[in-house]
Amino acid sequence: MNILRELRRRFAEALGAIVDDPGPLLDLIRPAQDARFGDYQANCAMPLAKRLHQSARDVAESLVARLRVGDLCDRPEVTERGFINMRLRDDWLDGWLRGASADPRVAIEPTASPRAFVIDYSSPNVAKPMHVGHIRSTVIGDAIRHILAFLGHTIVSDNHLGDWGTQFGMIIYGYKHFLDRRAYEKHRVDELGRLYKLVNQLAEYHELKERLPKAESDLARMDAQRADLAARVETLAGPERKKVAKDADRLDAKIKEAREEIGRIRARLAAVDDDPVKRALAREHPAIGERVLEETARLHEGDAGNRRLWAEFLPDCRLELAKAYQRLGIRFDYELGESFYHDFLGKVVAEFESRGLARTSEGATCVFLDGFETPMIVRKSDGAFLYATTDLATIQYRMATWHPDAVLYVVDSRQSEHFAKLFAAARLWGYDSVELRHVSFGTVLGEDGKPYKTREGDAVSLASLLDEAVARAYRVVCTVDDAKPSGRELSDEQRRRVAEVVGIGAIKYRDLSHNRTSDYVFSFDKMLELDGNTSAYLQYAFARVHAIFARGGIERPLPAGTERSADAGPPFPTVEERALAMALARFHETLDDVTIDYRPNMLTTYLYELAGHFSRFYTNPQCKVLKAETAELREQRLRLCDVAGRTIGQGLRLLGIQTVDQM
């Protein structure tokens, strides 16, 4: 049961007798900040007091008089200022705990109003190796999928692979000019990856070469301005001087940025210039950028040679991705890439045109949308279709095939503008009842606060990231195992298996534990801390629970247990036991909260706090479990351990993270 929702439902009834629209007031019923005042608190009397010309306290009292919560809570308490504090009844909480212990779903019933979701996530551009930037979409999308499915919604997960874009033009060009046939025969994807990088580097080289003079002259201009300001400052005094000094500071920041940018450009150019082979290639392929676009266009137009190459490359590229997904434990219901929609694109544009939704502007076919400065281009003047055109065709296909109530796009926040326009165009097209949502996320940063890259300036490959995390996890696992009071418990094979689970879990958890809309700093050390908000800490708590049952030789699921005897003391004699039970009972509320704005970090925060409650309970000398004072207490504490362990395990699984019984 989602307790908060149930309380709000009861309040809605009570409020209904006092106001016409209780809806907005219900948000003022929340979990209590401070457990000493109860479990939940309602602050809805204050705004009503003004409206009803009564004191908040009187309004609260009359609300409580109408409220029917006796089965759930002790009598609500009204404070001087009109807050209503509620504390769940101990016998209710005890009954809940017994139910949860007997239920594989830890007392979370599926929703009564299931919706159908399509979730578009991961969606990398194939033909380039997967890198750190792909983690976020993959991991966040997968967590949302698990959570929605667990709550009883219907999910179609669809990996919208970029298997049709310029990157294929690049490898086709590379294949035609730079192929190392023997390397290709030995390991295709590696050679394709090399070709991609090489072509990309050469194309970028020419582009940067063209950009550098302007960047340099801009900098020179700013330097001159700066010298001017410096001279002027000397002649001024008072507020004038201050103002000019401020301008100078602002200019300094810009100059610094421009210098850094020029530094980066020079470094990228030097990487080619300092390498005789690459320098020669760059000279032999001066128009490589345009040639790549031509190869891409030929592929799209159906050129037999390019289509054959594409069909030759694709399976290997996909196999490479499949390996990464397998290691991450991620699978998709569908992987309909951009190429799948190619044949629909002409029809989509024609439909927009014939219904008067698109018109030609400067040769391009454009959809003009209210509230946007620039239109959405669906066909370029040279006839080429765009990313946006494919996305429109994709919406049409998904709606016709799966009839979803909602489509979630788990994609980088840099694409917000694209999605805002796409959704507006889709509504114009008639898809106005489906919820289209861009579930956006920020960038993964290095310790220097800039997007996470290797020292050479390349994106860090996903495989190397996972390897490194697992290698470090192995060291942590060994340290923990070696330090056990009665000596090491794990064989080396076990240690390696645990390290894989801990290492991969750490990467996923670190990502999920951040508010998805903010950027975050990637740090191996932080993600593997054993006593922080990390998956290793939670996995460790899970294993600890397992150890209790192993030590006591107790099988799970636990038997239903004995009825509480009449002379038994309170079900939760210590603060720690009750706090743990209460935290467990709020799992459902947490999962529902995650789905309001698709924020998995609400689940990580919950699990971290839950593990804290468990630890305070378990380390309290008054809460002995296996050696509890009475059989009844022992049974109850085992139930707490059982539900705590299973909630942590379930929570991690919903985040796509595995657990191990022993660590």
Name the site residues for ligand ARG (rule: CB under 6 A).
120, 123-125, 160, 162, 391, 394, 409, 411
Length of the chain, in residues:
663
Three-class DSSP labels, 325-375? HHHHCCCCCECCCHHHHHHHHHHHHHHHHHCCCCEEECCEEEECCCCCCCC
Between 38 and 162, CB nearer to ligand ARG = 162
Least separation in angstroms between residue 388's CB and ligand ARG is 9
Supply the angle between the helices 288-301 and 166-178 in degrees, to the nearest 10.
110
| Residue at token pair 């720690």 | 576
Least separation in angstroms between residue 430's CB and ligand ARG is 19
Query: Residue 540 pairs with which residues in a beta bridge?
Result: none
Are 117 and 148 spatial neighbours (Cβ–Cβ below 8 Å)?
yes
Least separation in angstroms between residue 161's CB and ligand ARG is 7
Q: What is the DSSP string of 121-146?
A: ---PBTTS--BTHHHHHHHHHHHHHH
Least separation in angstroms between residue 234's CB and ligand ARG is 51
Please tell me the distance from the alpha carbon of residue 171 to that of residue 166, in angstroms, as a whole number: 9
- Reduced to 3 states, what is the DSSP secondary structure of residue 456? coil
Between 367 and 480, CB nearer to ligand ARG = 367
Least separation in angstroms between residue 414's CB and ligand ARG is 9
Between 269 and 386, CB nearer to ligand ARG = 386
Query: Residue 407 pairs with which residues in a beta bridge?
Result: 118, 436
| Residue at token pair 């709550």 | 151
Between 37 and 431, CB nearer to ligand ARG = 431
Between 127 and 477, CB nearer to ligand ARG = 127
Please tell me the distance from the alpha carbon of residue 393 to that of residue 381, in angstroms, as a whole number: 19
Between 100 and 411, CB nearer to ligand ARG = 411
Between 162 and 404, CB nearer to ligand ARG = 162
Burial class (CB in 10 A: 0-12, 13-18, 19+), 437: middle
Q: Rounded to the nearest 10 degrees, how much is the dihedral formed by the CA atoms of 172, 176, 177, 180?
A: 90
Least separation in angstroms between residue 309's CB and ligand ARG is 20
Least separation in angstroms between residue 329's CB and ligand ARG is 21
Least separation in angstroms between residue 488's CB and ligand ARG is 45
Nearest to 389 by CA among 354, 428, 347, 359: 347
Least separation in angstroms between residue 192's CB and ligand ARG is 17
Please tell me the distance from the alpha carbon of residue 192 to that of residue 129, in angstroms, as a whole number: 9
The end-to-end CA distance of the chain, in Å, is 32
Please tell me the distance from the alpha carbon of residue 339 to that of residue 165, in angstroms, as a whole number: 9
By beta-carbon distance, which residue lies closest to ligand ARG?
A: 162
Amino acid at 258: A
Least separation in angstroms between residue 160's CB and ligand ARG is 4
Between 398 and 546, CB nearer to ligand ARG = 398
| Residue at token pair 């300001």 | 229
Burial class (CB in 10 A: 0-12, 13-18, 19+), 354: exposed
CA dihedral sign of residues 243, 248, 253, 257: positive
Least separation in angstroms between residue 409's CB and ligand ARG is 6
Between 124 and 505, CB nearer to ligand ARG = 124
- Phi and psi (nearest 5°) for 199? -60, -45
Are 134 and 122 spatial neighbours (Cβ–Cβ below 8 Å)?
yes
Between 218 and 519, CB nearer to ligand ARG = 519
| Residue at token pair 């101990």 | 90
Between 418 and 637, CB nearer to ligand ARG = 418
Q: What is the DSSP string of 241-306?
A: HHHHHHHHHHHHHHHHHHHHHHHHHHHHHHHHHTSHHHHHHHHH-TTHHHHHHHHHHHHHHT-HHH
Least separation in angstroms between residue 20's CB and ligand ARG is 42
Between 121 and 572, CB nearer to ligand ARG = 121
